[in-house]
Amino acid sequence: MAGFIPFALVLGAQATQKGLSAVEVPLMTGLNFGGGSEFSAVDLWTSPPHVLLIVAVTFLINSRHLLMGAALTPYLQHLTKRKVFAALFLMCDESWALGLADARKRKQAPQLSLPYYFSVAFGLYLTWVVFTALGAMLGPKLGDIEAYGFGIAFPAVFLVLLRGMWPGWRAARPWLVSLLVAALTFLLVPGAWYVAAGALSGLVAAYILSENA
């Protein structure tokens, strides 16, 4: 849980530098609650924002939830639909992993324990929203932090996030394709097309490379 705090502060502070208000930041982190997508959204935020670009990137980054939700399904059979839909709103990488591990430990009846899951997930949720809001309140007081080298804070967060998902060199080849294509597109094509071009070419590469896996 404490691991969320530095990410949250950096996100909140950077969001206000990009033109989001101190109210809009907790609105985003409270309604969306998906760190990776929020970092990308803030990175791409302009005023006015490219609505479709940001929404599409959000969907792609959070597409991993599809798999996570599917993996959790066998342990949700004992719950009403309403409880499942409430529980899934709070599903993030950490709450999913902890909830799933706890469910598997219950040998006689392997199922998700709602009290356990909600206490973990809600704690993470509150930490995220409160500390992104705090970052947003502190952000404007820091002035133009870009000039002092703070611009690197964002790529630093992304690199740490990527390290956390590192699948090994072989499985990371699509990432390299994405990086190359996105960088070239950024240099050659004006606008924010580099995100779509990089992401899509990476997915195509993953599809082609998995043929001989």
| Contacts to other proteins from residues 162-181, by CB under 8 A | 162-163, 165, 167, 171-172, 174-175, 177-179, 181
If the CB atoms of residues 107 and 192 are measured against other proteins, the closer one turns out to be 192
Q: Token match 């639909």: residue? A: 81
Site for other proteins in 72-101 (CB under 8 A): 72-73, 76, 84-85, 88-89, 91
If the CB atoms of residues 89 and 122 are measured against other proteins, the closer one turns out to be 89
Longest dimension (CA), the chain: 59
Residue 13 makes contact with other proteins by CB under 8 A: no
Among 1, 97, 126, 159, binds other proteins (CB under 8 A): 159
Among 11, 13, 54, 100, binds other proteins (CB under 8 A): 54
Q: What distance in Å separates the CA atoms of residue 191 and residue 188, rounded to the nearest whole number?
A: 10
User: Whole-number minimum distance, CB 172 to other proteins, in Å?
Assistant: 7
Cα 135–chain centre separation: 17
Task: Return the ∠ at Cα 27 (arms to 26 and 31), rounded to 5°.
Answer: 110
Q: What distance in Å separates the CA atoms of residue 205 and residue 66, rounded to the nearest whole number?
A: 20
DSSP character string of 103-154: HHH-SSS----HHHHHHHHHHHHHHHHHHHHHHHHHGGGG--GGGGTGGGHH
Residue 65 makes contact with other proteins by CB under 8 A: yes
35, burial (CB in 10 Å: exposed 0-12, middle 13-18, buried 19+)? buried
User: Whole-number minimum distance, CB 97 to other proteins, in Å?
Assistant: 15
Among 104, 119, 143, 155, binds other proteins (CB under 8 A): 155
Among 110, 143, 151, 191, binds other proteins (CB under 8 A): 151
Q: Are 125 and 5 in contact (CB under 8 A)?
A: no
For the chain, give the number of residues. 213
Among 1, 10, 123, 132, binds other proteins (CB under 8 A): 10
User: Whole-number minimum distance, CB 46 to other proteins, in Å?
Assistant: 10
User: Whole-number minimum distance, CB 108 to other proteins, in Å?
Assistant: 23
Residue 62 makes contact with other proteins by CB under 8 A: yes
